[in-house]
Structure 1
């Protein structure tokens, strides 16, 4: 996991080029104006999902992880907590290969608060639970970049 802010792009020069590509995309596109949906950037190798939803109580959300993709959560509007843990600490549920969704159950090890401009990079070994109320319940908009990992 890597937690950061888009104002500090220079600090992440060590990231692989295919991961850093999301920085360039964010700088060149007004994601706040995007409608909800999925947008192909480089086919199935690199795309972005724009989502809007209301934050809820922790117990009303679900855990997930992904085997084929790195997730980069970029907050556009609103705020949320994203609970995190390592999948090795979790109970694995069903894996749905068609949408690369690993269901999980367990407790959180830490929680990251995303405000506009913040991002969280989740690798395949990182369990995450999004949409948890931060300061108060709110409606948020965020971009989730999906970056395919090497087979």
Structure 2
């Protein structure tokens, strides 16, 4: 998991240059002005999902993780809590849904928590379980964009087995 601010992308160290370019390209499309739903950047390899929804109690949500895509979650409005765990932290995950590249679980160990504010982003690599959309302080409507990047775009082998 990588955490940062979109206003400091150019100064962010440790992020592959091609990934920085993808994030900048997606943000240049001004996702805050787009309708909710999927917006393609490079077909199925790079796209973004723009969404607005109400945050919920963490206990009512499940962790998700992916095998094929990185999730770059950028909070546009509101405050959001995201619980997450490192690679291999998922406890008793469900079956993998290959068509939609996800699997779910109810718990991770160890569990970590972050609180996003507008303009912050979190990058979850394949295999890293994460539970976005949780109440940070109070339930509220939030807007965010999730940039989905196939790991193949970064010239990488699969992150998980």
Give TM class, smaller chain. over 0.9
Change (3 A) 1:3 1:84: same
Larger fraction in strand: 1
Is it true that 1:4 corresponds to 2:24 in the alignment?
A: no
C-alpha root-mean-square deviation of aligned residues, in Å?
A: 1.5
Change (3 A) 1:43 1:17: farther
Taking structure 2 as the reference length, what is the TM-score of the superposition? 0.87
Taking structure 1 as the reference length, what is the TM-score of the superposition? 0.92
Displacement after TM superposition at 1:13 (Å): 4.8
Runs of 4+ in 1 over 3 A off after TM superposition: none
Query: Aligned to 1:109, which of 99, 111, 128?
Result: 111
Is it true that 1:34 corresponds to 2:5 in the alignment?
A: no
Displacement after TM superposition at 1:103 (Å): 1.1
Distance (whole Å) between structure 1 residues aligned to residue 127 and residue 137 of structure 2: 28
Q: Number of matched residues? A: 150
> 1:25: which partner in 2?
26
Unmatched segments (≥5 aa) in structure 2: none
> 1:77: which partner in 2?
77
1:43-122 alignment, distance < 5 Å: 43-91=43-91, 92-107=93-108, 109-122=111-124
Distance (whole Å) between structure 2 residues aligned to residue 57 and residue 127 of structure 1: 17
> 1:135: which partner in 2?
137
1:84-123 deviations in Å (ceiling 9; x for gaps)? 1024122221110111011123146211111110000000
Is it true that 1:123 corresponds to 2:125 in the alignment?
A: yes
1:44-69 deviations in Å (ceiling 9; x for gaps)? 11110001110011101111000000
